[in-house]
């Protein structure tokens, strides 16, 4: 059982209480989730009790990363201009037999800017607003026999082929605390995969939603709702996490022509907001409710290799039974080519809204990066050094994001990376709203 | 007396058989000497196995003599045109888990997918990208394919000696069905054991890569080079692949060589 409790910890107090409420109000998890936990526990027991007469292997990897982020400008709601973060990640893989694998990964974090929760409880659901200090990044058991693979537990499920925006990647929430430097979050799920020749059918069932982590309201990457003029006080009224499960099915074909078709029914892992303005003694107060609307997605992609480049295209239509949510289609067309030490990706991401919902706002980086021309170039200088450039330019010129990165390996274990990001644009643009957040990041990583 | 006669007859018989065998060998060797396809097919036949497993240690030495070390585990099932191979990096730590799946085909170029655990995704290596270096080594993606003799035309150019061993020098040219960065290659096949001693790969008239096969030993009846030195002559760098813990005909399962297996065993 995951223990979520009311804690007196200043700004986080209400959030912790909301987590508890969202899961049933009385620390009762949704029935499907509870059933899933029992099944997963039983499965893990079976795995651990597997006769040990088979050849067993245990492999591990991980890293310790120290990161410094420096912002030359102050933001309206955040005067902090330097942030230090440390992350220790350990991953272990245990193969009791050729058919079974148990994979686990744990993250330990600490930082100087309260993006990491100061309470050292072990987080499984990953629903907190802050990053947990100790998180189970992955814990899953995989059973494999012939063409069938079953994976149960906390795992990464990645769908889609495109790189810049991936519309059909619905089981892949992300940590968007720093919007432009994000990381994937694992989901609790059962994944059944059947592979026959060049075709794969994959079914995924997730008993509970793992939402994407969005920027903190008192920090510089917060959505513009938090950047209203001072007389208006913004209050997080509540967060409503949906109680139902999510399901998806995907058919993937590999070969000279690669394509993939997928269906998803569940919830958007990116939140929408409803806001109500009220008058109080201190002035105007904006009560903001965060919710995760239902979502039905049908999509697909195709990859065609030609003599000169590989063309990849991905499109998905998103419908919803929730009147507050938009109904829309996202599509991406990208070309990629590797030439010598260069690797290029360039493309366009587009959006077509078919029906507007009633919600006040959405936090949707996937949609925010549409109507945009995107590009990426990597150059490998030598075996130890590389540079990378990424850029996104809105087609109306209202937003620009340019990132350049230099990375160098130092010996067998160390790597240093310098990343400089420039953001420019108009306040009403998804990229432009972060125009005071241009920054430089220095990362030193020790891998083991 | 009759016993003596029998012994004499038996000796005569053995001598006769030996003579026939010698003549056959002579004829065959003469035949092979004139037919390059027979030479490469014989070389292919002698290296055919159900599977192969080894641990490879790579030393990448750049133009400034800076050395970088990598290590991979290589599993291959089947041989030549019908083989499947998975290569997983085990060192350095930051690339641990990165894997490449190669599905070779007898009638066309191979299919290749690379798995990157950091992003939990596989990427198909497009045919036009096979000329690029594989993960900072001097091997290109194409060099990791298994050469199938049916996809090349061969011409015997003569005889040369490599490291003191007499070799046939052959020219191989890819057929139309085979997409290759190389316009042609020169292959040196040792006469004593049919092991490949050297390959020079050309793009038109310019030499692009050269692979030197040394430390050739007999493992489970198969003559195998335990050191391959791949030179990238454009960059003036080279990679030494040392093959350790080599085993042939290890039991392997077909489903360990799929895209799903790349993900599963990361």
- Segment B33-58 shows an average pLDDT of 91
User: What band does A6 get if pLDDT is binned at 50, 70 and 90?
Assistant: very low
Q: Is B50 helix (H, G, I), strand (E, B) or coil?
A: coil
Same domain, B110 and B14: no
Rounded mean pLDDT, A304-320: 94
Contact A158/B66, CB-based, under 8 Å? no
- 3-state secondary structure (DSSP) of residue B98: coil
Query: What is the pLDDT at residue B167?
Result: 95
Q: Let me know whether B9 and B79 are in one domain.
A: no
Nearest CA in chain A to B68: A383
Q: At what angle do helices B2-34 and B36-46 cross, to 10 degrees?
A: 120
Q: B183 and B103: one domain?
A: yes
Shortest alpha-carbon distance between residue B109 and chain A (Å): 11
Q: Is the pLDDT of residue A282 over 90?
A: no
Give the closest residue to A318 by CA, choosing from A376, A283, A370: A370
In this structure, the answer to whether residues B11 and B78 fall within a common structural domain is no
In the predicted structure, residue A28 carries a pLDDT above the cut 60: no
Residue A342 has pLDDT above 50, yes or no: yes
- B128, A380: Cβ pair inside 8 Å? no
Query: Could you read off the pLDDT of A170-190 as tens digits, one per residue?
Result: 999 999 999 999 999 999 999
**pLDDT, tens digit, 9 for 90 and up, residues A215-231:** 998 899 986 654 555 56
Find the CATH number of the domain harbouring B91: 2.50.20.10
Q: Which residues of B touch A54 (CB under 8 A)?
A: none
The shortest CB-CB distance from B93 to any of A98, A307, A448 is to A448
What ipTM describes this predicted complex?
A: 0.81
Predicted pLDDT of residue A128: 86
Q: How far apart are CA A27 and CA A29, in angstroms?
A: 6
- Residue A204 near residue A191, CB atoms below 8 Å: yes
Element (H, E) at B244: strand B237-248
Asked whether the beta carbons of A408 and A415 are under 8 A apart, the reply is: yes
Q: What is the model's pLDDT at position A141?
A: 96
CB atoms within 10 A of CB A90: 16
pLDDT digits (tens, 9 = 90+) for A386-423: 999 999 999 999 999 999 999 999 988 999 999 999 99
Q: What is the mean pLDDT of the segment spanning B230-239?
A: 94
Residue A19 confidence class, pLDDT cut points 50, 70, 90: very low
Query: Cα(B77)–Cα(B252) distance, rounded to whole angstroms?
Result: 7
Is A409 within 8 Å of B94 (Cβ atoms)?
yes
Q: Indicate left, alpha or beta for B154 from its phi (over 0: left) and psi (-120 to 50: alpha).
A: beta
Asked whether residue B77 falls in the same domain as residue B17, the answer is no
Q: Between chains, do A307 and B258 touch, taking CB under 8 Å as contact? A: no
Nearest-CA neighbor of A207 among A166, A136, A154?
A154
Do B12 and B74 have their domain in common? Answer: no
Q: Does A193 touch chain B (CB under 8 A)?
A: yes
Cβ of B96 and A149 within 8 Å?
no
CB-nearest partner of B132 from A149, A340, A415: A340
Same domain? B17 vs B69: no
Interface of B with A in 46-65 (CB under 8 A): 60, 62
Are residues B128 and B55 part of one domain? yes
B249 and B191 within one domain: yes
The pLDDT value given to residue B8 = 43
The radius of gyration of chain A's CA atoms, rounded to the nearest angstrom, is 22
- In A, which residues are within 8 Å of B58 by CB distance? none
* B136: nearest CB among A149, A254, A380: A380
Is B39 part of any domain? no
Minimal Cβ distance to A338: which of B119, B132, B266: B132
- The CATH number of A10-447 is 2.40.160.10
Nearest CB neighbour to A383, from listed B68, B121, B259: B68
Q: Enter the pTM of the model.
A: 0.83
Structural domain boundaries enclosing B22: 2-34
Whole-number percent of chain A with pLDDT over 90: 65
Would you call B96 an interface residue with chain A, using a CB distance cutoff of 8 Å? yes
Share of chain B above pLDDT 90, in %: 62
Residue with tokens 């994976």: A151
Q: Do B264 and A255 touch (CB under 8 A)?
A: no
Distance from CA of B73 to the nearest CA of A (A): 13
**Residue of chain A whose Cα is closest to the Cα of B264:** A142
d(CA B242, CA B222): 17
CA pair distance A285, A232, nearest whole angstrom: 5
Q: CA dist A189 to A296, A355, B173, Å?
A: 18, 31, 51
Closest-CA residue of chain B to A201: B260
Picking from A146, A305, A447, the nearest residue to B128 by CB comes out as: A305
Residues B228 and B103 in one domain: yes
Chain B residues touching residue A341 (CB < 8 angstroms): 132-133
- DSSP element (H, E) containing B212: strand B206-219
Q: How confident is the model at residue B199 (pLDDT cuts 50, 70, 90)?
A: very high
B21 and B108 housed in the same domain: no
Q: Are residues B48 and B30 in the same domain?
A: no
Q: Inspect the interface and report whether the beta carbons of B126 and A254 lie closer than 8 Å.
A: no
A144 contact residues in B (CB cutoff 8 A): 255, 264
pLDDT tens digits, residue range A94-130?
Answer: 999 888 999 999 999 999 999 999 888 787 878 888 9
Among A421, A428, A392, CA closest to A405? A421
Roughly how many angstroms between the first and final C-alpha of chain A, as a whole number? 32
- Count of structural domains, chain B: 2
Mutate to test the interface with B, among A382, A385, A416 (most CBs of B within 10 A): A382
Q: Are strands A174-175 and A148-155 parallel, antiparallel or unpaired?
A: unpaired
Q: Does A144 touch chain B (CB under 8 A)?
A: yes
CA-nearest of A173, A60, A94, A185 to A132 is A185
Which three-class secondary structure string do you get for chain A?
CCCCCCCCCHHHHHHHHHHHHHCCCCCCCCHHHHHHHHHHHHHHHHHHCCCCCCCCEEEEEEEEEEEEEECCCCECCECCCEEEEEEEEEEEEEEEECCEEEEEEEEEEEECCCCECCCCCEECCCCCCCECCEEEEEEEEEEEECCEEEEEEEECCCCCCCCCCCCCCCCCCEECCCCCCCEECCEEEEEEEEEECCEEEEEEEECCCCCCECCCCCCCCCCHHHHCCCCEEEEEEEEECCCCCEEEEEEEECCCEEEEEEEEEEECCCCEEEEEEEEECCEEEEEEEEECCEEEEEEEEEEEECCCCEEEEEEEEEECCCCCCCEEEEEEEEEEEEECCEEEEEEEEEEEEEECCCCCEECCHHHHCCCEEEEEEEEECCCCEEEEEEEEEECCCCEEEEEEEEEEEECCCEEEEEEEEEEEECCCCCCHHHCCCCEEEEEEEEEC
Looking at every residue in chain B, the average pLDDT score rounds to: 87
* Contact (CB<8Å) B264/A144: yes
Closest CA to A236 of A252, A216, A210, A250: A216
Contact B132 A142 (CB under 8 A): no
In this predicted structure, what is the pLDDT of residue A45? 61
Q: Find, among B60, B72, B46, the residue nearest to B216 by Cα.
A: B46
Which chain B residues are closer than 8 Å to A142 by Cβ? 264
Residue A197 in contact with partner chain B when CB distance is under 8 A: no
Please report, for chain A, the start and end positions of each structural domain, with discontinuous segments joined by +.
10-447
The pLDDT of residue A41 is: 61
**pLDDT of B131-162, one tens digit each?**
889 988 999 999 998 878 888 999 999 999 99
Beta-carbon separation of B129 and A338 below 8 A: yes
């Amino acid at each position: 059982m995951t223990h979520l409790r009311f804690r007196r910890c200043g700004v986080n107090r209400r959030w912790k209480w909301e987590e508890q409420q969202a899961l049933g109000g009385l620390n009762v998890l949704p029935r499907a989730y509870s059933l899933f936990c029992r099944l997963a526990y039983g499965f893990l027991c079976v795995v651990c009790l597997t006769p040990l007469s088979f050849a067993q292997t245990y492999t591990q990897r991980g890293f310790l990363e120290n990161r410094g982020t420096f912002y030359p400008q102050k933001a309206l709601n955040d005067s902090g201009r330097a942030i230090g973060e440390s992350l220790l990640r350990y991953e272990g893989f245990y193969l009791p037999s050729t058919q079974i694998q148990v994979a686990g990964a744990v993250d330990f974090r600490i930082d100087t800017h309260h993006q990491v929760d100061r309470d050292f409880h072990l987080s499984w659901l990953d629903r907190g607003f802050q990053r947990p200090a100790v998180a189970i990044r992955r814990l899953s058991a995989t059973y494999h026999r012939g063409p069938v693979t079953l994976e149960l537990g906390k795992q990464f499920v990645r769908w889609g082929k495109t790189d810049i925006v991936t519309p059909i990647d619905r089981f892949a929430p992300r940590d968007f605390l720093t919007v432009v430097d994000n990381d994937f979050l694992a989901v609790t799920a059962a994944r059944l995969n059947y592979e026959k020749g060049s075709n794969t059918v994959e079914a995924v069932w997730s008993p509970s939603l793992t939402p994407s982590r969005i920027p903190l309201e008192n920090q510089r990457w917060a959505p513009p709702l938090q950047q209203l003029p001072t007389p208006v006080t913004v209050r997080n009224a509540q967060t409503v996490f949906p109680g139902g499960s999510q399901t998806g099915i995907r058919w993937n074909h590999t070969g000279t022509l690669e394509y993939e078709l997928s269906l998803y029914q569940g919830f958007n892992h990116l939140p929408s907001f409803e806001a109500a303005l009220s008058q109080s003694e201190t002035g105007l107060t904006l009560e903001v409710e965060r919710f995760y609307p239902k979502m039905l997605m049908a999509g697909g992609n195709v990859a065609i290799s030609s003599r000169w480049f590989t063309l990849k295209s991905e499109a998905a239509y998103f419908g919803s039974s929730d009147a507050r949510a938009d109904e829309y289609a996202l599509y991406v067309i990208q070309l990629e080519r590797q030439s010598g030490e260069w690797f290029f990706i360039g493309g366009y991401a587009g959006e077509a809204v078919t029906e507007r919902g009633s919600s006040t706002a959405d936090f949707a980086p996937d949609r925010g990066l549409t109507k945009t021309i995107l590009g990426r170039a990597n150059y490998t200088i030598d075996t130890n050094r590389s540079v990378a450039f990424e850029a996104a330019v809105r087609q109306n010129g209202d937003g620009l994001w340019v990132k350049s990165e230099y990375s160098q390996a130092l010996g067998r274990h160390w790597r240093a990376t310098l990343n400089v990001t420039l953001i420019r644009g108009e306040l009403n643009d998804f990229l432009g709203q972060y125009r005071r957040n241009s920054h430089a990041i220095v990362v030193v990583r020790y891998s083991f | 007396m009759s016993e003596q006669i029998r012994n004499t007859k038996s000796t005569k018989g053995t001598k006769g058989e030996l003579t026939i065998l010698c003549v056959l060998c002579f004829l065959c060797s003469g035949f092979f000497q004139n037919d390059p396809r027979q030479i490469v097919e014989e070389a292919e036949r002698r290296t055919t196995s159900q599977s192969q497993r080894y641990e490879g240690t790579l030393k990448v030495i750049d133009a400034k003599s800076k050395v970088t070390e990598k290590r991979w585990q290589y599993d291959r099932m089947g041989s030549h045109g019908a083989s499947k191979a998975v290569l997983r990096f085990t060192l350095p730590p930051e690339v641990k888990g990165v894997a490449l799946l190669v599905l070779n085909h007898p009638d066309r170029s191979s299919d290749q997918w690379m798995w990157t655990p950091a992003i939990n995704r596989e990427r198909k290596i497009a045919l036009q990208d096979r000329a690029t270096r594989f993960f900072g080594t001097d091997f290109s993606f194409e060099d990791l394919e298994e050469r199938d003799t049916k996809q090349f035309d061969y011409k015997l150019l003569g005889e040369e000696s490599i490291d003191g061993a007499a070799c046939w020098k052959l020219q191989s040219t890819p057929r139309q069905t085979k997409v290759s960065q190389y316009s042609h290659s020169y292959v040196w096949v040792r006469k004593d054991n049919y092991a490949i001693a050297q390959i020079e790969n050309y793009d038109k008239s310019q030499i692009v890569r050269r692979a030197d096969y040394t430390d050739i030993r007999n493992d489970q009846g198969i003559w195998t080079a335990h050191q391959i030195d791949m030179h990238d002559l454009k960059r003036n760098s080279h990679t030494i692949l040392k093959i350790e813990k080599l085993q042939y005909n290890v039991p392997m399962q077909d489903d360990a060589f799929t895209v799903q297996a790349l993900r599963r065993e990361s």
